[in-house]
Chain A
Amino acid sequence: MVLGTYKEIVSARATDKQIQKVSQDGGIVTGLLAFALEEKIIEGAVVAGPTDEFWKPEPMVAMSADEIIAAAGTKYTFSPNVMMLKKAVRQYGIEKLGTVAIPCQTMGIRKMQSYPFGVRFLADKIKLLIGIYCMENFPYASLETFISEKMGVSMEMVEKMDIGKGKFWVYTQDEVLSIPLKETHGYEQSGCNVCLDYVAELGDVSTGSVGSPDGWSTVITRTDGGDSIFKQAVEAGAFETKDIANVKPGLDLLQKLSAQKKEKNQKTIDKRKEMGLPVPF
């Protein structure tokens, strides 16, 4: 299945105005982690927190809604969230942990849960894993190259970055700039070129912008746990939802992009195999 195994797909956004303001898309990640924290489904969450350097995130253990909100928004470079999970349990004493992860991070977490060879007493503490869609990720120096050099904007002026409609977008206080994705190609990390997962097929809940209108997100519920937490949050009024069949551009686009990623990267995998290079999948 091109979107993985799932229970339900809806278009949704957080109802909280503050979350709407700071979030990348519909505020699903921030809204759901904050809801789970408030309901004591989790006691803390690992998120991609801010650092002294603009747009260079670092994994952070958030223990309050404010800290979760401070980490909202997409940073298009590495935040090795998985590395903080153990710290969150050992050093912060969190027994019920939530986290957000791009698909490849989700794979590291799920593999650890199924085969915890050297990882003790962590697998069963992860109560909510929100996966976000991902086409590719960039080394920080790549971001600098196409933002500072190609677009001529210094990193500290950037208020938001986004990928959509075939372009890489940069928002400053008074300008909206973009370059076609053609120009960012080749700047992504090469490990992405063998990745077959676009829609975080192993998350409890997965979300991304594609398929829904601006300011909304497409939410896929997958596991029993994820489905139930998301439904509770909707019922409690944390999210408003729309039938995915009634929104534009809709599921077709999501399916198309997911299929394209699988097809393109399968070719890279085949080519690597021909060359005798290792591939984990």
Chain B
Amino acid sequence: MSLISKLKGLLGIGAKPANEEPKPAKSGQVGASEQEVEKVAEENAKPRIGYIHLSGCTGDIMSLSENYDILAELLTNMVDIVYGQTLADVWEMPEMDLALVEGSVCLQDEHSLHELMEVREKAAMVCAYGSCSATGCFTRYSRGGQQARPDHESFVPIADLIKVDCAIPGCPPSPEIIAKTVVALINGDMDYLQPMIDLAGMTEGCGCDLQKYVVNQALCIGCGTCAMACQTRAVSMTNGRPEVNGDRCVKCGICYVQCPRSWFPEEQIKKDLGL
């Protein structure tokens, strides 16, 4: 199966390729082995990747660029960055195999709406990249009435308007998850990517998810992973249960995404540990 058709296979949401051989354990490493990368390069045309910047703070692309030391080879030789304000000097949006969309979309901004629709047409696969794009994140609090555009009031996750194939939440996503995802994409490791495909359906996030979907469901075990993961330190632990400071919560959804009682990737973990 070529890389491109594997990418396109992602379009069938939730559909795991049934006859795929499992990949051998890679014991927790971030990068793919040199031979693997070379082999992928020989076999496949380079995937064309675009970066679309809507209403986000640029933190997501900064996190991506922090990977340059790990992924330099990959990003420069294995993929073609064909579109992106800061990445390519191109005005006309080209056809793409994968589009990373940063930021939510403003319903009062014609230009953003148009760009989002165009991305869906031009990209085989659309990834909601970062929590603003995936869950709305802190743009959920927007109420308009501010300069320079007081009319820009309503911001929604991109999946409210277009079909999204996968999501990488995070405020911003860590450099490591980006590295792992790119390597998995290059390897066509669908097992690793499955959670990102599933997360495309999660268009709301909030600290209160912990209470509603974990504590209320008799699942919380007081491990503290949510408090560790929260990027704004909104979660503390009281009597072994998470307590969320709503004033600090940016609605990124990360606490629930990292909780071991929301979903649990046991096979992947064992593979990563060599167990």
The residues of A with any CB-CB pair to B shorter than 8 Å are 4-5, 59, 77-78, 80-86, 104-105, 107-121, 123-124, 137, 139-140, 189-195, 201-202, 222-224, 277-281
- CB contacts (< 8 Å) of B259 on chain A: these are 108
Interface centre among A114, A116, A124 (most CB of B within 10 A): A114
Which residue of A4, A108, A120, A281 contacts B176 across the interface (Cβ within 8 Å)? A120
A194 to B: closest C-beta gap in Å: 7
Q: Which residue of B lies closest to A85 (CB)?
A: B228
- Can you give 7 A-B contacts (C-beta < 8 A)? A81-B223, A107-B260, A108-B260, A116-B177, A119-B174, A191-B221, A280-B263
Sample of 19 more A-B contacts, CB < 8 Å, known A117-B257, A224-B274, A278-B213: A4-B275, A77-B240, A78-B222, A82-B228, A83-B224, A84-B224, A105-B223, A108-B224, A108-B258, A113-B272, A114-B272, A118-B173, A119-B174, A119-B258, A191-B261, A222-B273, A277-B217, A278-B219, A280-B263
Identify which of A4, A112, A194, A201 contacts B229 (C-beta below 8 A): A112
Contact of A111 among B30, B169, B231, B258 (CB under 8 A): B258
Chain B residue with the shortest CB-CB distance to A226: B273
A191 touches B224 (CB 8 A): no
Quick one: which of B213-265 are within 8 Å of A by CB?
Answer: 213, 217-229, 231, 237, 239-240, 252, 254, 257-265
Query: Which residue on chain B has the smallest CB distance to residue A195?
Result: B221
Contact A280 B229 (CB under 8 A): no
A118 partner, pick from B217, B223, B237, B252, beta carbons under 8 A: B252
Assuming the A-B contacts A104-B223, A110-B269, A224-B274, are A119 and B229 also in contact, with contact meaning beta carbons closer than 8 angstroms in the complex?
yes
Interface: B94 (CB within 8 A): no
Which B residues are in CB contact (< 8 Å) with A279? Answer: 219
CA separation between A39 and B247, bound complex, in Å? 44
Contact string against A for B residues 161-177, beta-carbon threshold 8 Å, 1 for contact and 0 otherwise: 00000001111011111
CA distance A236 to B225 in the complex (A): 34
B225-A189 in contact (CB<8A) = no
List the B residue with the shortest CB-CB distance to A78: B240
Beyond A111-B264, A280-B263, whether A118 also contacts B229 by CB under 8 A is yes
Given the contacts A116-B177, A202-B275, A280 and B224 also touching, CB distance less than 8 Å: no
Q: Which residues of A contact B63 (CB under 8 A)?
A: 120
Instruction: Find out whether the CB atom of A112 lies under 8 angstroms from the CB atom of B221.
Output: no
Find out whether the CB atom of A189 lies under 8 angstroms from the CB atom of B222. yes
Give chain A nearest CB distance to B149 CB in angstroms: 29
The answer to whether A280 and B262 touch across the interface, beta carbons within 8 angstroms, is yes
Q: How far is the CA of A111 from the CA of B180 in the complex (A)?
A: 14
Q: Which residues of A contact B220 (CB under 8 A)?
A: 189, 191
CB-based nearest A residue for B266: A281
| B28 sits at the interface (CB 8 A) | yes
Tell me whether A83 and B228 are in contact in the complex, defined as CB-CB below 8 angstroms, given that A116-B176, A117-B168, A118-B257 are known contacts: yes
Contact of B195 with A by CB under 8 A:
yes
B111 within 8 A of A: no
| Distance of A210 from chain B, by nearest CB (Å) | 20
Cβ contacts under 8 Å, B27 to chain A: 224
> What 7 pairs between A and B have smallest CB-CB spacing?
A80-B224, A78-B240, A83-B224, A108-B225, A118-B254, A120-B174, A83-B227
**Contact across chains for B170 and A117 when beta carbons are under 8 A apart:** yes
Question: How far is B237's CA from A104's CA once the two chains are assembled, in angstroms?
Answer: 16
Interface contact B221-A137, CB-CB below 8 Å: yes
The verdict on B268 contacting chain A, using a C-beta distance below 8 Å, is: yes
- Bound-state CA distance A139–B27 (Å) is 36
Could you tell me if A82 and B225 are in contact, using CB atoms closer than 8 angstroms? Answer: yes
Residue of B nearest to A7 (CB): B275
B270 at the interface (CB under 8 A from A): yes
Within residues 45 to 90 of chain B, which ones have a CB less than 8 A from any CB in chain A? 63
Query: A191, B219: Cβ atoms under 8 Å?
Result: yes
**A111 to B223, Cβ gap below 8 A?**
no
Q: Is the Cβ of B173 less than 8 Å from the Cβ of A222?
A: no
B residues near A278, Cβ cutoff 8 Å:
213, 217, 219
Q: Is the CB of A118 within 8 A of B219?
A: no
Q: How far is the CA of A102 from the CA of B263 in the complex (A)?
A: 18
Q: In the complex, are the beta carbons of B222 and A80 less than 8 A apart?
A: yes
Q: Is the Cβ of A137 less than 8 Å from the Cβ of B270?
A: no
- Chain B CB count within 10 A is highest, among A82, A111, A279, for A111
CA distance A113 to B220 in the complex (A): 20
Q: Does B218 lie within 8 Å of A110, measured CB to CB?
A: no
Cα distance A68–B266 in the bound complex, in angstroms: 30
Chain B residue at smallest Cβ distance from A122: B228
Interface centre among A108, A109, A194 (most CB of B within 10 A): A108
Contact B169 A117 (CB under 8 A): yes
> Contact at B177–A115, with CB atoms within 8 Å?
yes
